[in-house]
Structure 1
Amino acid sequence: MAIGPSAVERWLDLSTEELRAQVKQLVSARLPGDHAVWQAIRRHPALVPRIRGVLSGLAATAAGSKDEAMQKVWISNARAALDLPAPVKAARKPVVKEDPVPEPEPVIELKQPEAQQQKQPHKPAPTMLFQEPS
């Protein structure tokens, strides 16, 4: 069976083993989350939990294998693709050209140093007397 948006419609009728083979093929294809196949999967609310279960099974199967790290990355990417929201098509709004309003330039005030600053002389530290213990 091929992977494509039209093939996803038939995945609802597949047995667990057949679905597992399809999902394994889909995971190894490493399709981006906005691909048409992932969009078709997200449109079927009954299919998403079945695929999540298959992904958990694939992660458990990959544990301990030499390709475990690579498989875990691919599986986590597939889970992230399932979590993406369905694209919402918004109606196009007419573009209204507005005259650009120039923003006023900010006024920077520079403080000039006061020439008449009076410097106070340093006060000497108070004298401290210590008594010797008797």
Structure 2
Amino acid sequence: MRSIWIFLSSVAAIVAIGGTVYLISRPEAELALSGNGELRAMSPGRRIPVAPAGNPLLAASELQLDMWIPIYPIPCGEIVFGAADERARHFSFCVREIRNRVFFHSNLELSDEDVLDPRVRAHWRATVRPR
């Protein structure tokens, strides 16, 4: 009887680990910016998005801001745009992380000034903050 329980629990563990690996490695539809600044789905094999010229943070939708501005483990939106205190503990990390995420998803390299633009702060407050 004990060997049956060991066998069943081993099978359950293997299925759980396999399911977790499958869910993590599953290709998801990627999001990219179209020429007019709207979000569109990309095919999983394609990695070259079309992005508008300039600062994509100025015209980003709520979904894009959620994708580009991390909230876990550090609420970067509140640090960079809410308090906007350059002496905050994770301020430089958050600016760098936002720049990296925008580059990863839109293939546009932003400067620190682009991220810290007061228009981006106002757009973030109008789009994300009212929750």
On whether the aligned pair clears a TM of 0.5, the verdict is no
Tell me the TM-score normalized by structure 2.
0.28
| Structure with greater strand percent | 2
- The structure with higher relative contact order (CA 8 Å, sep 6+) is 1
- TM-score of the superposition, structure 1-length normalised? 0.27
